[in-house]
A and B are shown apart, each in its own frame.
Chain A
């Protein structure tokens, strides 16, 4: 099946710094990628839909200036957590779809810890 890779898997940063997480589709082109946030023992919450070559569509309640999403190519989307604070600590997961296949492929997730 199609492979989606996230990097880094783990990141620890100091409060006030910015962190970038990459999501790559390794063997297919993805015009659309999705970013989720998952709190411990909870489901995935969709943060935003990332569209190649255009602005991301954010879900209600998600701060656009806090969570910057860039989808610069058909195989790469990035999520930048700006001026991170401890409450931003979470597990962030991306997914991508090759198109009308009825399936999303998920990255391995990135665990962010803000000290």
Chain B
């Protein structure tokens, strides 16, 4: 079974400050890990994903995440927040490498607010 825990339902940072959104996962098989962003009344957009290889993954809009197996974590960071980063962020885990019919399990989401 797989699960995802996002710590903090709401994170608020100042514009230009570091963004850190926390995600811990549980998986009985090597996982695929994802971060998605959702703007109001829209679907989800993939920010980045970890499948295999390099544990530091760079995504769109300046975001990156590091897969730490020992800590079962996949935290999302961005060095300098921009007002346009305000959105809902979802961490997700799957075992898609084993079956295209596998489910993606989403965390509860973290709402990121940016203060001017």
A103 CA / B32 CA spacing, docked (Å): 9
User: Given the interface contacts A44-B106, A102-B32, A102-B49, does A32 sit within 8 Å of B101 by beta carbon?
Assistant: yes
> Across the interface, which residues of A come within 8 angstroms of B49, CB to CB?
102-103
> Across the interface, which residues of A come within 8 angstroms of B36, CB to CB?
106
> Across the interface, which residues of A come within 8 angstroms of B97, CB to CB?
100, 102
Chain A positions 23 through 61: 1 when the CB is less than 8 Å from some CB of chain B, otherwise 0: 000000001101000000111101001010000000000
Q: Residue A108 at the B interface, CB < 8 A?
A: yes
> Across the interface, which residues of B come within 8 angstroms of A44, CB to CB?
44, 90, 106
A49 CA / B70 CA spacing, docked (Å): 32
* B residues 72-116 touching A (CB-CB < 8 Å): 90, 94, 96-97, 100-101, 103-109, 111
What are some 28 contacts across the A-B interface (CB < 8 A)? A1-B46, A32-B100, A32-B101, A42-B109, A43-B107, A43-B109, A44-B106, A46-B104, A49-B103, A93-B44, A95-B104, A97-B96, A100-B97, A100-B100, A101-B96, A102-B97, A103-B34, A103-B46, A103-B49, A104-B34, A104-B46, A104-B96, A105-B46, A106-B44, A106-B45, A109-B42, A109-B43, A111-B41
